[in-house]
Chain A
Amino acid sequence: MKMNDKILKYIDNQMSSSERSDFENELKNSSELQKELKKYKSLMHEVDQLKNIDVNESYFAETIPKFRSRQEVLRRFLLFPRLTFSIATVAAVALIFVISISKTNKNIIIQKNNIVAADTSGSEISSLLDPSSDQLNIGYISKEEESSYDSLMNSVMTKELNLSPNDLSYLSPDQNTDLSSMLQNVNEKEAENIYKEVLNRRFFER
């Protein structure tokens, strides 16, 4: 062990009784060790003198009032960010509420047609819209209801527009032709013309 380490252990009371007696024996015979120990003891003496210092009591009397006034300033300072945070939170909650409401309404509209857009892929939508598909349910009117509505419409048109039953036969669609067979009879050019006409047509006048 180095000399300094021995001295420090001795001063710091970290030596066992046997180590201590060995050190004290060594100390008697070594002037160098005595000189070094003296330096450390003088440092410790200086430190001891600065342990209990007379202080101006007025400073310590001011500690609590100073703390209380600082606490008040802090409280006021923290109030503004808290208010801002509260307003921002309320605005965010309101925004989320409005968005969720509008999203729910959209779902309701789509669900009327039995198709939930969010859950349906592109290919599924195509198959659902395929006229030959069993899944496409255009209207919910049975054959019996359809004929009764037809006769009702015919009577209304005859009465209101002064049409004869012969004129009505021109207006009524061919009963034997269904939608899928009609579409099969349309060639590509005709389909394109119909498509263009539909695109150019203004359904609603502003």
Chain B
Amino acid sequence: MADNNIDFELVNKFIAGDEAAFNKIVLKYQQKIYWHARRMTGNHLDADEVVQEVLIVLYNKLKGFQFKSSLYTWIYKITSTRCINYLKKRSLKQIFSLDDNETKIIRSKDDVIKDLETKEKLAKLEKVLQKVPVRQREVFIMRNFDEMSYDEISEVTGKSVGGLKANYFHAMKKIMELMKNYENER
């Protein structure tokens, strides 16, 4: 509740013309935006691009925000939509260009992760997640990494709780299978 009050204050300050209030909102939520985008897109460069897109939308639309939901839910909704749009654009680009995932991984050397072991584990999960359909991947990420309830996910995605549960179970089964295959390939 106190968190919502702080957000309310920051949004009102920004509407009144205080640019520093926007910076504070970004500082508060940027990691959450980044990690959702990173898990959805599977690499740092694409995640970085999505973060910038989200911030542009956030800046342009924040003046019209009416607190019908919490600021976090609203930002999450924008992030989720931008990620899905970005993935659509990326798959189209991949059809018409030679820019495949391998080159992207090489280009991602300027990653944000410090620890090498964690980097490898994340690379494995990212590779597996990219093979899961986008909607199933999204529910899996929201449920496991962001620890959201089905009701919260439903508010963000606009999908029914039943449909989300089905998507989550499909995602889990597929990830289990892909993990098994990944280990066998090594």
Contacts and interface: CB of A to CB of B under 8 A. Distances in A.
A56 B113 contact: yes
Interface string A69-98: 011001000000000000000000000000
Interface string B81-121: 00000000000000000000000000000001111001001
Interface in B106-148: 112-115, 118, 121-122, 125, 143-145
Interface stretch (B4-12, B71-79, B152-160, B166-174): B166-174
B52 A70 contact: yes
Given A49-B121, A50-B121, A71-B56, A39 B113 contact: no
B56 A54 contact: no
Contacts of A39: 176
Interface in B11-70: 23, 26-27, 30-31, 34, 51-52, 55-56, 59
Nearest to A4: B173
Contacts, number: 73
Contact of B176 (A5, A43, A64): A43
Contact of B113 (A4, A46, A54): A54
Given A4-B173, A8-B173, A55-B114, A67 B125 contact: no
Given A60-B30, A67-B55, A70-B56, A47 B112 contact: no
A40 to B, nearest CB: 7
Contact of A54 (B115, B144, B168): B115
A106 B163 CA distance: 68
A53 B118 contact: yes
A106 to B, nearest CB: 48
Given A64-B23, A74-B56, A5 B169 contact: yes
Contacts of A51: 144-145
Interface residues of A, number: 28
Given A44-B144, A46-B125, A60-B34, A55 B52 contact: no
Tell me the interface secondary structure of chain A in the complex.
helix
A192 to B, nearest CB: 74
A116 B71 CA distance: 64
B162 to A, nearest CB: 11
A200 interface: no
A67 B176 contact: no
A12 B26 CA distance: 32
B112 A59 contact: yes
Interface of A: 4-5, 8, 11-12, 14, 39-40, 43-44, 46-47, 49-51, 53-56, 59-60, 63-64, 66-67, 70-71, 74
The 9 closest A-B pairs by CB, nearest first: A59-B112, A55-B112, A67-B55, A56-B112, A8-B169, A47-B144, A63-B30, A54-B114, A64-B23
23 contacts: A4-B173, A8-B168, A8-B169, A8-B172, A14-B165, A40-B172, A46-B125, A47-B125, A47-B144, A50-B122, A50-B145, A51-B144, A53-B118, A53-B122, A54-B118, A55-B31, A55-B112, A56-B114, A63-B51, A67-B52, A67-B55, A67-B59, A71-B56
